[in-house]
Amino acid sequence: MANHFSALKRARQTKKRTERNRSARARLRHTIRDLRTSIGEDAAAAKTEMPATVSLIDKAVKKGLIKENTASRFKSRLAIRLTKASAQKS
């Protein structure tokens, strides 16, 4: 454990940030998982959920939780799934 005041403060800050990032990352994963489930069950409902999920993914990039290419991959794959599900239902 650190002894200097500044190092102790850094340790406290790191602990807080880690917890905040962990919860935000979990929220992102749950939202993506829910959208995937929704696409499988009801494509029309998933279309309304898609913009909120994309927004959450973009916010995660902005906060540095995930990288930009990872976000692009998530969005692309979700859009492809949604398009396929919509085409099958029609």
69: exposed, middle or buried (Cβ count in 10 Å: 0-12, 13-18, 19+): exposed
Q: What is the share, in percent, of the chain residues with pLDDT greater than 70?
A: 97
Position 2 confidence tier, pLDDT thresholds 50, 70, 90: confident
pLDDT in tens, 63-87: 999 999 999 999 999 999 999 998 8
Q: Report pTM.
A: 0.86
* Average pLDDT value for residue range 26-48: 94
- List of residues 6+ apart from 56 with CB closer than 8 A: 27, 28, 31
Please say if the pLDDT value at position 90 is more than 70. Answer: no
Distance CA 90, CA 84 (A): 10
